[in-house]
Amino acid sequence: MPVDKKRVLDTGAERHPATAPTPQNEAILGDFAKTVLMPGDPLRSKLIAENYLEDAKLVNNVRGIQGYTGTYKGKPLSVMASGMGMASMGIYAYELFNFYDVDHIIRVGTAGAINIDLKVRTVVAGIAASTNCGFATSQFNIKGHFSASATYRLLETAVNVAREMDIDMKVGNLYCTDLFYDASGAAVEWGELGHLAVEMESYALYTCAMEAGKESLTICTVSDHVLTGESLDAITRQNTFTDMIEIALETAVRL
């Protein structure tokens, strides 16, 4: 259901009209391109802007959540961080879709493998996201369970791009959790139910896109393996994973 941009939002501290800029984003309407790549890490946002975009301009740096707009192969394109977790993604994706007229968000992030056949550095695209969180059910009057799904057009385009680039991108369901440290070990059980990887943002992104009538997709790189214990260090996660980024960029120029 499309969101009424004129409705008043309750921030918990004060009420303000749903317009840009916002308390979280200093950009004005028109600063963002129609397509935004969204890593979790602000430093990965900076890396993408500096290495792939032409004439990249910093349009948001509130709380260090860096957002840039430039061009890629002549097409306007933005990149902005989401921060960690569904609460953070839910703020920035909602605002981009509903306040800044963004039409497509492609998340480019990291995930933990929960399928034994996946290897570290494997690229994964999420068809849909399951969750242990009430992100959808707590705010919508839903008589059931909300299935948060990627947009098929974006997914199909990304799959075709990966094939053309000869990258073996795996496609399947993601498990999106609120808990980075989870004493229950639930991620293993979700893997046994056919999910490929665990991460913390996709369910909120897909939900925000579906509510706004917009398009979204998550493309992740496996940075660690829940079942085998293999992992990569923070600097490697921040500065590499170019296959994922380049699939997203090539997908964006075809939209």
For the stretch 48-59, pLDDT in tens is 999 999 999 999
Report, as an integer, the average pLDDT of 13-17: 42
CB atoms within 10 A of CB 141: 5
CA distance 204 to 207: 5
For the stretch 175-231, pLDDT in tens is 999 999 988 888 999 999 999 999 999 999 999 999 999 999 999 999 999 999 998
The helix or strand, by DSSP H or E, that contains position 218, with its residue range, turns out to be: strand 215-225
For the stretch 78-91, pLDDT in tens is 999 999 999 999 99
67: nearest Cα among 28, 16, 112, 117: 28
pLDDT surpasses 70 at 13 = no
Going by pLDDT thresholds of 50, 70 and 90, the confidence category of residue 105 is very high
Report, as an integer, the average pLDDT of 144-169: 97
What's the pTM? 0.91
pLDDT surpasses 60 at 14 = no
> Which tokens hold the place of 211?
């509510």
What dihedral angle (degrees, nearest 10) is formed by the CA atoms of 36, 77, 125, 152? 80
Inter-axis angle of helices 152-164 and 242-252, nearest 10: 120
Residues carrying an active site annotation: 224
